[in-house]
Amino acid sequence: MKNKKLGHPRGLAHRLRIRDHINTDYIISGRYKFRIRDPKDLAKYVFNDLDPEFHKKVKKGDFLIAGENFGCGSSREQAPLALKALGIKAVIAKSFARIFYRNSFNIGLMLIECNTQFIDDGDILELDEEKNIIKNVNKGLNIDIKSLPLIIKKILEDGGVVEHFRKHKGFKIES
For residue 23, what is the DSSP state? B
pLDDT in tens, 92-101: 999 999 999 9
Residue 1 has pLDDT above 50, yes or no: no
| Average pLDDT value for residue range 157-163 | 93
Q: What is the pLDDT of residue 34?
A: 84
Residue 172 has pLDDT above 90, yes or no: no
Domains of the chain, by residue range, sit at 10-147
- With 0.85 as the threshold, say if the pTM is over it: yes
Residue 64 has pLDDT above 60, yes or no: yes
Q: How far apart, in whole angstroms, are the C-alpha atoms of residue 97 and residue 87?
A: 21
H runs (alpha helix) in the chain: 24-27, 30-33, 39-42, 54-57, 78-86, 98-107, 150-158, 161-168
* Domain 10-147 -> CATH class: alpha beta
> Sign (positive/negative) of CA torsion 122, 128, 133, 137?
negative
Q: What is the pLDDT of residue 7?
A: 55
Q: Whose CA is closest to 106, among 11, 171, 38?
A: 171
Band of residue 16 on the pLDDT scale cut at 50, 70, 90: confident
Residue 5 has pLDDT above 50, yes or no: no
Residue 175 has pLDDT above 70, yes or no: no
Give the three-class secondary structure for 159.
Answer: coil
Q: Which residues pair with 137 in a beta bridge?
A: none
